[in-house]
Amino acid sequence: MTRSTVTKGSGNVFRDLGFSDEKSAELILKSSLLQALQDTIKDRGWKQVETAGQLGIDQAKVSKLLAGHMAGFSIERLVHFLSLLGQDIEVKVRRAPHGRKKGTVRAQVSRKLKRVSV
């Protein structure tokens, strides 16, 4: 039986795949925005044609988005799409902890909150 070597990741899958710090930061943001967009469309049960109408793009582009293709979609465009679908996007900037020269880029997609009437 052959033993496999396991290497602990850095916490940034894109950096681990060899992307530069700058590109990996962009990809983290884009993938999180894309995930939120996909989740929103799925939760609404929309077909691709209906989604295309809501976003003002053609069905082929919606197909690419739903398939996870980020190429051709900027961070700004993904933010715009989410805004069109009634989603709030929040960006927070804070100082890196003392002793660390560079900041990190993280993105978090909030889970659905159920509304409760009182």
- 38, 66 Cβ separation under 8 angstroms: yes
Question: Quick one: tokens of 118?
Answer: 């009182």
Per-residue pLDDT tens over the stretch 48-58: 999 999 999 99
Is the model's pLDDT at 9 over the cut of 70? Answer: yes
Q: What is the reported pTM? A: 0.80
Instruction: Name the token pair of 59.
Output: 């069905």
Coil vs helix vs strand at 90:
coil
Q: Rounded to whole angstroms, how far apart are CA atoms 39 and 95?
A: 31
